[in-house]
Chain A
């Protein structure tokens, strides 16, 4: 094939050794490498784009549907115009979680992991760089799309009932929280990916923890029911809600719960990556 024809040269035509300038492997360099990997696979970019569209569309749609609905006395406390336009974040968690898992498991399914770990044989920087890149991409996508969803959503409300503004108490926090929660799930995806290595297993466990285990805990009730507050999905809802029932976990505690999940998962992922044969 014409395109693979090799010039009859050997390495003699290559530059002298010091021209290549290989430098020390550092975390910022590995982050740069992982960023190139993330942006150079089209499906990742498409996923992020679709997530943004879905977040905006859902937020606007929920705002439109709930607009003009009369507020009854008992409903008043849960009328949450800001929360309504941020509704899309709940959808985004699964998509971004899957993306996080794939960023890790695709290395194993394609055999790329061996190339990657040959370039970074200390291994751990690879996991941290992936976490940072995935978190940054997820958070940036979420913040941007949530702000659009929020402003359009509030414009929908603008005419009639109560609407929210970014300067209202708790609203800015809710926007950031709604961006943060799917980001946390994306990072958990990376962690499960590092632990499980197989795409289907990693995603299966992530879905189970997000959607199945909470239902199971609620069904069991009692201690289990209260423990469900500490599951990532519940903690995420607590973090995101603007208007809260009294007796709920505080957003600060919810944030700590999520950080705890990430911490444990990434610690386990680090040990797995470091210990196991690649």
Chain B
């Protein structure tokens, strides 16, 4: 369980996080979404006690993180793949981490095996690819068998097989009753993994809702119909539909009537349908819609906009 309450973090005059409150519950994968610069990483650093909040607080399993006796048991975190010394091997990195809280060598070997790094465990981690670095970061996060797992952009640099692996991993962690918070700036990726969504933009909370609530927002705005009897169908549906937009001789869009209803009416009038497609807004569209006003760094429409990328995520 992670509880963030009225969190504000300022760096000089830059407000990275602005009065943010949310709770991350155990048992589900929670996606922490927002455009780059929305304050996701800052929030995660505050949760870990790495950055001090300007206002507000963050609790991990009921307490400020630093008050826990065995912190690695409470939260396992991946902040960025670069959290290692390049001259040190993956195994020694994990052994040093494990030593702080008396975790055994055997557990180190186990997590290395789990993330698939056993064979390269004794090489300098500086030679690792981005994906291997991510795996090492995930190994560090899982080392203490933590109640809460928090990963910042974990799929960065992973190959398709690795992405699939991490999705399964996150789901199994949540199924075991752990709290799982995963940040991403890609809705498409999160849509496949998360069941609950916390969406932020410009450091503020935009949405805190379950996957089904979010999907409800994707209810089709129109239904595309193709039929050799387009004219007769339009007359038939026209009385009850909000609007009908003609797209071609045999093609039109119906607004305000769902596909089931259109299909049933066509069937009872014995009119053949060749296509019946609800035009569903994707989660991606909704995400973009929600965060549109909150994107800190728009694409370069003006050269001065590019010069102040303060934070990568």
Where the two chains meet, the residues of A that have a C-beta atom closer than 8 Å to any C-beta of B are 1, 3-15, 17, 19-25, 29-30, 32-34, 36-37, 40-43, 106-107, 110-112, 114-115, 117-123, 277-278
Shortest distance from the beta carbon of A125 to any chain B beta carbon, whole Å: 9
Shortest distance from the beta carbon of B137 to any chain A beta carbon, whole Å: 8
Interchain CA distance A30-B70 in the complex, whole Å: 12
Across the interface, name the chain B residue whose C-beta is closest to A36. Answer: B96
The 8 A-B residue pairs whose C-beta atoms are closest, nearest first, are A40-B92, A6-B116, A10-B172, A22-B73, A121-B66, A23-B102, A33-B99, A20-B145
A111 touches B101 (CB 8 A): no
Interchain CA distance A115-B83 in the complex, whole Å: 6
Interchain CB contact (< 8 A) of A122 among B66, B82, B89, B176: B66
Across the interface, name the chain A residue whose C-beta is closest to B178. Answer: A11
Chain B residues whose C-beta falls within 8 Å of the C-beta of A118 in the assembled complex: 48, 50, 71-72, 75, 77, 79
Shortest distance from the beta carbon of A248 to any chain B beta carbon, whole Å: 43
Known: A117-B48, A118-B72. 10 other contacts (CB 8 A): A5-B161, A6-B116, A6-B161, A7-B116, A11-B176, A15-B107, A20-B107, A121-B66, A121-B68, A121-B71
Across the interface, name the chain B residue whose C-beta is closest to A12. Answer: B172
Interchain CA distance A6-B79 in the complex, whole Å: 21
Select the residue from A1, A36, A120 with max chain B CB neighbours within 10 A. A36
B120 touches A4 (CB 8 A): yes
A33 touches B71 (CB 8 A): no
B49 touches A121 (CB 8 A): yes
Chain B residues whose C-beta falls within 8 Å of the C-beta of A6 in the assembled complex: 115-116, 135, 161-162, 165
B116 touches A4 (CB 8 A): yes
A114 touches B50 (CB 8 A): yes
Chain A residues whose C-beta falls within 8 Å of the C-beta of B176 in the assembled complex: 11
Chain B residues whose C-beta falls within 8 Å of the C-beta of A42 in the assembled complex: 87
Across the interface, name the chain A residue whose C-beta is closest to B137. Answer: A115
B104 within 8 A of A: yes
A1 touches B88 (CB 8 A): no
Across the interface, name the chain A residue whose C-beta is closest to B125. Answer: A110
Interchain CB contact (< 8 A) of A121 among B65, B131, B169: B65
Chain B residues whose C-beta falls within 8 Å of the C-beta of A9 in the assembled complex: 114
Given contacts A22-B101, A41-B87, contact A36 B95 (CB under 8 A): yes
A3 touches B50 (CB 8 A): no
Chain B residues whose C-beta falls within 8 Å of the C-beta of A115 in the assembled complex: 79, 83-84, 97, 140
Interchain CA distance A98-B8 in the complex, whole Å: 39
A110 touches B100 (CB 8 A): no
Shortest distance from the beta carbon of A117 to any chain B beta carbon, whole Å: 6
B85 touches A37 (CB 8 A): yes
Interchain CA distance A6-B107 in the complex, whole Å: 17
Chain A residues whose C-beta falls within 8 Å of the C-beta of B75 in the assembled complex: 118
Chain B residues whose C-beta falls within 8 Å of the C-beta of A23 in the assembled complex: 69-70, 101-102
Given contacts A15-B110, A29-B102, contact A3 B119 (CB under 8 A): yes
Interchain CB contact (< 8 A) of B83 among A33, A43, A114: A114
Interchain CA distance A37-B88 in the complex, whole Å: 8
Given contacts A22-B70, A115-B84, contact A277 B50 (CB under 8 A): yes
Shortest distance from the beta carbon of B195 to any chain A beta carbon, whole Å: 17
B2 within 8 A of A: no
B168 within 8 A of A: yes
Chain A residues whose C-beta falls within 8 Å of the C-beta of B120 in the assembled complex: 3-4
Chain B residues whose C-beta falls within 8 Å of the C-beta of A22 in the assembled complex: 70, 72-73, 101-103, 144-145
Interchain CB contact (< 8 A) of A111 among B52, B82, B95: B82
Given contacts A17-B145, A20-B107, A29-B102, contact A111 B83 (CB under 8 A): yes
Chain A residues whose C-beta falls within 8 Å of the C-beta of B89 in the assembled complex: 40
Chain A residues whose C-beta falls within 8 Å of the C-beta of B114 in the assembled complex: 7, 9, 11, 13-14
| Cβ < 8 Å to A, chain B residues 198-221 | none
